[in-house]
Amino acid sequence: MTSRPVFVDRALSARIEAAEAAKVEAFAREVAVRVPAQRAAVAVIADGRAAFVVPHARVSRAAGLGMSGPVEARDVEALEDFYASRGTAARILVSPFAHPSLLARLGERGFRLDSLDTVLVRHLALAAEAHAPEPAARGGVVVRRAAREEASAWVAASLSAFALPGEPPPDRVDIFEAGFHQPGAAYFFASLTGGAVAGVGAVCVHERVALLFAGATLEAHRGRGVQRALIDARVAYARDVGCDLAYSVAGAGSTSQRNLERAGLVAVYSQAMLIKSFA
């Protein structure tokens, strides 16, 4: 595994937050095209992106605001109007490297902290310089890229892997299947000997930055190295398509964070989700 120390500064965070904003925008635009009745939409606010996909869900959120300069009260008002007019709470991801005015304006308008997640980063060597590329198979786990026609199968496996006991399945599977086709994204299956799907993962690329997301293992196959194999395969893919940086977001102290750290990603900062409801 080839990596180098991570120095965290505003420039690094700006790349990460730009990739985050690009992903929420791409997802919303793909849903707008493929599921027009959903009326998904995107707005540019304070050099970031506010995306609406479905009411009352974390996929409808804003990202990347305040990374290029001060945020004005009118920017936050525009953010509120964008979500309130669509009947949902306003959610926004905030980097600690964003301009201080962002948190000040959000506080003035009554936003509150909803969650804190850990951003983990790994610098990637060029493919030609990597001494030991991550294998596509590890410990009996085989990872392959999902084909475009496998959207339904990938989404079904993902929903099964992320499902909580007793939780009903989402009633808008078409939205997730639409998101499968967003530009810059690649989706992966992991399987064990015999070919049964054991887990899934995805990566979204923006300006040489790879976001590893949607990694999950089906309950029957947990504890067998599935996530490590998926992380390794996605890092290798990111390197192969020319990325020099990979990152992921995980709950603080979670199993996901531990898996990412074992694969060479380093925790660099906490990303806050702030929310304001309009009930």
Domains in the chain: boundaries: 10-118+271-276, 123-270
pLDDT digits (tens, 9 = 90+) for 50-89: 999 999 999 999 999 999 999 999 999 999 999 999 999 9
Q: Which of 15-24, 31-40, 92-101, 164-173 has the lowest mean pLDDT?
A: 164-173
Contacts of 109 (CB under 8 A, 6+ apart): 73, 76, 77, 80, 276
Q: Which of 5-9, 36-40, 128-132, 230-234 has the lowest mean pLDDT?
A: 128-132
pLDDT digits (tens, 9 = 90+) for 172-204: 789 999 999 999 999 999 999 778 899 999 999
Residues forming a β-bridge with 121: 247, 266
pLDDT of residue 132: 46
Residue carrying the six token digits 């948190």: 103
Topology of the domain covering 123-270: Aminopeptidase (3.40.630)
Helices (H), the chain: 10-34, 73-84, 100-108, 151-162, 173-179, 226-240, 255-262
- What tokens does 259 get? 């898996």
- Grouping H, G, I as helix, E, B as strand and the rest as coil, residue 78 is helix
Mean predicted confidence (pLDDT) in 133-143: 68
Amino acid, res. 224: R
pLDDT of residue 131: 46
Q: What is the CA radius of gyration of the chain?
A: 19
pLDDT of residue 21: 98
